[in-house]
Amino acid sequence: MDAALLAWFRENRRDLPWRRTRDPYAILVSEVMLQQTQVERVLPRYLAWVDRWSTAEALAAAPLADVIRAWQGLGYNRRAVNLHRAAQSIAAEGWPDDLTQLPGVGRYTADAVAAFAFGQPVLPADTNVQRVQERTGHAFAPECGQALMDLGATVCLARVPRCAVCPLASRCPSRGRRYEPVRKQGRFEGSFRQRRARVLRAVAERPRLLGQLDCDAVDALASDGLVHVRGGLVSLPQER
């Protein structure tokens, strides 16, 4: 199956900017941005980010308030704080042997950076990779990582896989199956996530009086390191 997959990938691979580099910092940025965010939304934001902060050292030196502002619109803003902390750790101490020691870096992200930047023989298993492996029952080699991601994103879809155009279909025991919809995240409209986002957007414009804001959302943002509260005034971190 590996050979068939890689042959398909050579003809169908997505041209993504983070695939044109082996810079571990650039790849880390892409992987953090891609967590729970669609590729189409990430593309312009990634390019703007690495143009503004092209190295871990540059990001580490940036005020956290600027980093949070630059992240606006990507969602899950805690990722911006963790990425900034990771950059500070890298700038101070270099890249650790165990990448999960970096703030906000879990097993998948660590494996992705290890494989795509440092060339280590590991297979990063995101949702798409896991889906293809489970359906085929095949243990793919590490070099199949990006091919599996593209196959899962464009062919081996979650609900109705496109088996007719799949290079693995002839040997796949799940060929022709349809799947129940996965449990979706709750609606953003009217959610606490929306309340948090509204408060953070307001504070990113300028510091605000606590009494003018949703206090529960402020508390949640403060616990995530996204805002600072002092003397009844709510501001972004490092911004007084």
Sequence letter at residue 94: G
Query: How many domains in the chain?
Result: 2
- Whether 154 is covered by a domain: the verdict is no
Q: Mean per-residue pLDDT for 15-22? A: 97
- Whether 180 is covered by a domain: the verdict is no
- Whether 203 is covered by a domain: the verdict is yes
16: alpha, beta or left, given left = phi > 0 and alpha = psi -120 to 50? beta
44: domain CATH number? 1.10.340.30
Pair (112, 196) in one structural domain: no
Residues involved in catalysis: 31
Q: Is 227 helix (H, G, I), strand (E, B) or coil?
A: coil
Q: Is 87 exposed, middle or buried (0-12, 13-18, 19+ CB in 10 A)?
A: buried
Ranking 37-41, 52-56, 162-166, 181-185 by mean pLDDT, the lowest is: 181-185
Q: Mean per-residue pLDDT for 189-205? A: 89
Q: Give the model confidence (pLDDT) of 111-148 as tens digits.
A: 999 999 999 999 999 999 999 999 999 999 999 999 99
For tokens 């997959």, the residue is 5
Beta partners for 234? 208, 229
- With a cut of 50, say whether residue 240 has pLDDT above it: no
Q: Domain range for residue 206?
A: 192-235
- Whether 134 is covered by a domain: the verdict is no
Q: Which two tokens stand for residue 38?
A: 């669609």
Cβ proximity of 230 and 218 under 8 Å: no
Cβ proximity of 118 and 100 under 8 Å: no
